[in-house]
Chains A and B, each alone.
Chain A
Amino acid sequence: MPPVEAMDSIHWNEAGQLEVLAFELAGETFAVEAAGVQEILDLLPETVVPGASPLVASVINFRGRIIPLADLRLAFGMARTEANRDSRIVVIAVDRGGEEVLVGLKADRVHEVTTLERNSSEEPPVIGMRWRRELVRGLVRREAGLVVLPDIHAVFAPTSSGSTPPGASAPPIH
């Protein structure tokens, strides 16, 4: 694995800020770049794809296109939570080897679009984190708690052994 910084650095603007959409997943707050978000959907009927990796176990009909629905909890080894009234699907565009792929991310609750400050951000710690370090680009402290910036590209990147996303197939690192 190349160093995390080289894979996908965070594009802070000149003022050291980053516009993100924050959402909740199993009690943690995650954030993705607001620019990459296509749409926020209410839950849709899912169609399971037998044989697909658990990370992207199903597909949905997004305006006539069939896109995978991903559960980031599986990439981060978190417990599944039941869908609730606030559950949403965040559709984002992922650049995958030059090809733009739309992916729906499950979210327990979607927060507002918010601005993160570079000053309060940290590199993911080398030890002591319960997630695989290469899937996290950074952690940002906010009043309401810690925000995780996942490395979406790394989560969905094709691996050399095939196109199984690493978060789904590789054993978790302890």
Chain B
Amino acid sequence: MSGDDPVAAFRVEAGELLDQVEQGLLDLGHQLGDMDLVNAVFRGLHTLKGSGAMFGFEALAEFTHHCEGAFDKVRKGQVTATHELIAVVLSAQDHMRALIDGGRGLDTAGDAILTRLDAALGAAEETALDTSIKNADRAGWKLSFRLPANAMTNGINPLVLLDELRELGEARIIARTDRVPDFAELVPTECHIGWDVTLMTDAPKSAIEDVFIFVMDDMELTIEPLATDEVPQSGAAEQTIAAQGPVTKPEPGEGSGPLAHAAKARAGESVRVPAERLDALMDRVGELVIAQSRLAQIAGGGTDLALRSVSEEIERLAGEMRDATMVLRMVPVASLFGRFRRLIHDLARETSKSIELVTEGEATEVDKTIVERLFDPLVHIVRNSCDHGLEPPAERAALGKSETGTVKLSARQAGGDVLITVCDDGRGIDRERVRAKAEAQGLILPSQQLGDGELFQLIFHPGFSTAAQVTNLSGRGVGMDVVKRTVEGLRGRIDVASRPGEGSTITLSIPLTLAIIDGLLVRVGTDRFVVPLAAVEECLELSLEEDMRSRGRSVITLRDRLVPFLRLRELFETGTRPDPFQKIVVVGIGAERVGLVVDQIIGNHQTVIKPMSALHRNVATFTGATILGDGGVALILDIGQLVAVGQAQEERLRAAG
């Protein structure tokens, strides 16, 4: 569908270009003089402008043109890169993303950025005017004017005035939007905009005054001749270039920057495929595996050796094909981590802390969907680390730590899971405060003994964040409970470790792929269900007399702890009689446990997850379904949901006494 849509393709490409530009800018922030990086950023912006115009993103092309122009100057050595310039272009980049997404009413924001861009350029090089103007060895005027608020009501059209100025000579016009009021107070018929104009003309001052002759009385107007020392200064800039010649000379062969290399390599070796085609392929492979297992049954039951050998061959091929298809969806986490450099950059500015981001294991591969869904939770955790974890520089110095705090993002694979760790060297989590808060909220009893792991899990409890903790940074509407829910939605889990004064480590363990699940296949009544193996803690037998004894209070004692259990047969209203030897599958999430009574445990089952139909999305008990070897369907249990049901049941019982 979207695969053939050129605009959608442009959006994807533009997103990647902007990512590259962003990385380039961030690198440049560390090495201001690196011309390779300057060139790479310039080329990125240039391409974006060109293809933007080609695909009808006029506003984007227009806006990008200014940023490109700024970097063109840096590239040509007319301006040196400054931190301020980089910061402005970074924010300009966000604006470009908004333009690409087709946001509306962005003009004001864009103009504000361009004003800042001009200011930054001006600061970088006092005389940084448009090159064409600079090269033109002519006299001119610098004027700045503002019309009275009621000008337009009186029939004055500012555009006509600007056109008249243009007729006098080459004009560079910048709108000043600093006095535009908030939208609520905006009177659309009033004129809130002022203009700065640099006019290259031989015309006398009186000619300019004539333009404004009808509005002169009420307006603000300043007219100054262009500084005469501008021309010599521009010459000075050229001398500097000459002095740095060998370094700054634009390189003849385009594509020498590292980013260009990366882009080239990527274009040569990879193919962009819409995710839905991969899903379709996955479906076909899933069917193939099922058909193959039927074939294996037939071949195994007969005596035809040739058939059996072909069947085994197909079994091997189908298995390999399934693995190969899985790999198609995997992307390195580098793309995820890369986005954090910007966040850390911004956070360091916002908090006035000095923060260094260290990343490790970027080559670790994860399912694409997971990478996308992990971003928000990770942002929240990283923000927490920077905001609450890391101390201000002065405090760190007093503690004998380096003034720069470190946040480390790392990824590594462990079995079928990928572990993503956010580690900071800040003050660590305050156990006493967590405990006090949990007691105050009635989450734990004052006498209750808790290990670190269990105690820290409490911060993921809904509503645990308190006013004392929330700042403008972390109070972004995503609580740690949402983080936990997202991670559990990915069938993952969160572990927290912390050492006072040394920092905290938050580890997310996420399955490598969402497409496959390791499950325990069980039977309830006549139907089969899959329990995600990651959640299974142990399996017990529930004898008939135990079952009878526990009627009415569905709780078993497991190593001195009461564990509520659910009879799936009753929950699912199967209408069947219980098997004589029922089993309890104890499942848990975090510290919470619940037993699931099933009729039979069939065994381990690795399986492809299929989504439930839209008509069944209201059924909360299942996260999906899977097709079994015989072509039948087994539903996959939503453990989070069942644990919640079990806990609620236990609370009701407790309340009833």
Residue positions of A touching B, CB distance < 8 A: 45, 47-53, 56, 59-61, 63-68, 70, 96, 99, 101-103, 156, 162-165
Task: Indicate whether B613 reaches chain A with its CB closer than 8 angstroms.
Answer: yes
* Nearest-CB residue, chain B, relative to A63: B287
With known contacts A47-B635, A64-B287, A101-B614, A52–B627 Cβ distance under 8 A: no
Task: Please state if B283 and A45 are interface contacts (CB–CB under 8 Å).
Answer: no
Assuming A65-B610, A66-B610, is B616 touching A49 (CB within 8 A)?
yes
**Which of B527, B612, B618 has a CB less than 8 Å from the CB of A48?**
B527
Query: Contacts A66-B627, A164-B618 hold; do A50 and B612 have CB atoms under 8 A apart?
Result: no
| Residue of A with least CB distance to B572 | A50
Contact A66–B615 (Cβ < 8 Å): no
Q: Is the beta-carbon distance between B621 and A60 smaller than 8 angstroms? A: no
B415 beta carbon closer than 8 Å to chain A: no
CB-CB under 8 A from B574, the residues of chain A are 48, 50
- Distance of A103 Cα from B610 Cα, bound (Å): 16
Pick the contact of B290 from A45, A50, A64 — CB < 8 Å?
A64
* Residue of chain A at shortest CB distance from B614: A101
B621 pairs with A50, CB closer than 8 A:
yes
Contacts A49-B635, A51-B619 aside, 14 further interface pairs with beta carbons under 8 A come to: A45-B631, A50-B572, A52-B616, A56-B613, A60-B633, A61-B627, A63-B287, A65-B283, A66-B610, A66-B611, A66-B627, A96-B615, A101-B613, A163-B615
Q: How far is the CA of A63 from the CA of B617 in the complex (A)?
A: 21
User: CA–CA, A163 to B616, complex, Å?
Assistant: 8
Taking CB atoms and an 8 Å cut-off, the chain B residues in 616-657 that contact chain A are: 616-622, 625, 627, 631-635
Can you report 21 A-B residue pairs in the complex whose CB atoms are below 8 A from each other? Answer: A49-B612, A49-B616, A49-B619, A49-B635, A50-B573, A50-B574, A50-B621, A51-B619, A59-B633, A60-B633, A64-B290, A64-B627, A66-B610, A66-B611, A66-B612, A66-B633, A70-B615, A96-B614, A163-B614, A163-B618, A164-B618
Chain A contact surface mostly: strand
Q: Is the interface of B mostly helix, strand, loop or mixed?
A: mixed
Q: What are the residues of chain B within 8 A of A101 when measuring CB–CB?
A: 613-615
Knowing A64-B286, A64-B290, A101-B615 are in contact, say whether A47-B527 is a contact too (CB < 8 A): yes
Residues of A within 8 A of B614 (CB): 96, 99, 101, 163
Shortest beta-carbon distance, A57 to chain B, in Å? 10
Q: By the criterion CB–CB under 8 Å, are B616 and A68 in contact? A: yes
Q: Is the CB of B615 within 8 A of A103?
A: yes
Which residues in B have their C-beta under 8 angstroms from that of A163?
A: 614-615, 617-618
Q: Which residues of B contact A47 (CB under 8 A)?
A: 527, 625, 632-635
- Which of chain B's residues 576-628 have a Cβ closer than 8 Å to chain A? 610-622, 625, 627
Residues on the B chain within 8 Å of A51, using CB: 572, 619-621
Closest 3 CB pairs of A and B: A50-B572, A64-B287, A47-B633
In contact, A67 and B613 (Cβ under 8 angstroms): yes
Q: Who on chain B is nearest to A70 by CB?
A: B615
- Residues of chain A with a CB closer than 8 A to B627's CB: 61, 64, 66
> Closest residue of chain B to A101, judged by CB?
B614
Contact assessment for B631 and A156 in the assembled complex, using a CB-CB cutoff below 8 Å = no
B99 to chain A, nearest CB (A): 26
Chain B residues with CB under 8 Å of A70's CB are 615
A18 to chain B, nearest CB (A): 26
B284 within 8 A of A: yes
The verdict on B467 contacting chain A, using a C-beta distance below 8 Å, is no
Nearest opposing residue in chain A for B622, CB measure:
A49
Check B631–A61 contact: CB distance below 8 A: yes
**A102 closest partner in B (C-beta):** B613
CA distance A49 to B527 in the complex (A): 9
Contact of A66 among B527, B613, B618 (CB under 8 A): B613
Q: B282: nearest residue on chain A (CB-CB)?
A: A64
B619 near A52 with CB under 8 A, answer yes
B571 contacts A by Cβ under 8 Å: yes
Instruction: With both chains docked as a complex, state the minimum distance between the C-beta of B293 and any C-beta of chain A, in angstroms.
Output: 13
**Nearest A residue to B625, CB-CB:** A66
> Would B616 and A59 count as touching, CB distance under 8 A?
yes
A45, B528: Cα distance in complex, Å: 12
Contact B610 A56 (CB under 8 A): no
- Cα separation A56 to B633 with both chains bound (whole Å): 15
Closest B residue by C-beta to A47: B633
In the complex, which residues of chain B have a beta carbon less than 8 angstroms from the beta carbon of A45? 631-633
Bound state CA distance, A101 and B613, in angstroms? 7
Quick one: which of B286, B613, B622, B635 contacts A68, CB cutoff 8 A? B613
Q: What is the distance, in angstroms, from A157's C-beta to the closest C-beta of chain B?
A: 10
Query: Please, which residue of chain A has its CB at the minimum distance from the CB of B286?
Result: A64
User: How distant is A58 from chain B, measured CB to nearest CB, in Å?
Assistant: 9
CA distance A52 to B625 in the complex (A): 14
Q: How far is the CA of A48 from the CA of B576 in the complex (A)?
A: 13
Cα A64 to Cα B284 in complex, Å, equals 7
Return B486 CB to nearest CB of chain A, in Å.
22
Q: List chain A residues, Cβ under 8 A from B632.
A: 45, 47, 61
Give the nearest-CB partner of A94 in chain B: B615
Known contacts A47-B633, A51-B621, A66-B633; A165 and B615 CB within 8 A of each other: yes
**With the chains together, A63 CA to B620 CA distance in Å?**
25
Interface residues of B in 555-573 (CB under 8 A from A): 571-573
**Which residues in A have their C-beta under 8 angstroms from that of B616?**
49, 52, 56, 59, 68
CB distance from A83 to the nearest CB of B (A): 16
How far apart are the CA atoms of A68 and B614 in the complex, in Å?
9
Most chain B C-beta atoms within 10 Å of own C-beta, residue among A59, A60, A102, A164 = A59
Once bound together, how far apart are the Cα atoms of A14 and B572, in whole Å?
Answer: 50
B287 contacts which chain A residues (CB < 8 A)?
63-64
When distances are taken between beta carbons in the complex, the residues of chain B under 8 Å from A50 are 571-574, 619, 621
For B283, the closest partner residue in chain A by CB is A64
B626 to chain A, nearest CB (A): 8
The complex places the Cα of A156 from the Cα of B574 at a distance, in Å, of 25
Contact B572 A59 (CB under 8 A): no
A99 — which chain B residues lie within 8 A by C-beta? 614
Nearest opposing residue in chain A for B628, CB measure: A61
Cα distance A45–B634 when bound, in Å?
11
- Min CB gap A17→B, angstroms: 31
Q: Which residue of A lies closest to B571 (CB)?
A: A50
Give the residues in chain A near B633, CB-CB below 8 Å.
45, 47, 59-61, 66
A156 vs B616: C-alpha distance in the bound complex, in angstroms? 11
A56 touches B290 (CB 8 A): no
Query: Closest CB of chain A to B284's CB: distance in Å?
Result: 7
Residue ID in chain B nearest A165 by CB atoms: B615
Chain A residues near B621 (CB-CB < 8 A): 50-51
User: A residues within 8 A CB of B571?
Assistant: 50
Complex partner residue of A56 from B527, B615, B625, B634, CB under 8 angstroms: B615
Q: How far is the CA of A165 from the CA of B621 in the complex (A)?
A: 18
Residue of B nearest to A57 (CB): B616
Closest partner residue, chain A, to B626 (CB atom): A66
A164 to B, closest residue via Cβ: B618
Cβ–Cβ < 8 Å partners of A66 in chain B = 610-613, 625, 627, 633
The distance in angstroms between the C-alpha atoms of A49 and B620, with both chains bound, is: 11
User: Which A residue sits closest to B612, measured CB to CB?
Assistant: A66
Q: Complex Cα distance A164/B615, Å?
A: 8
Docked CA distance A163–B574 (Å): 23
| Measured CA separation A49–B622 after assembly (Å) | 9
Q: Which residues of B contact A103 (CB under 8 A)?
A: 613, 615
B615 CB to nearest A CB, Å: 5
Task: Give, as a whole number of angstroms, the nearest-CB distance from A43 to chain B.
Answer: 13
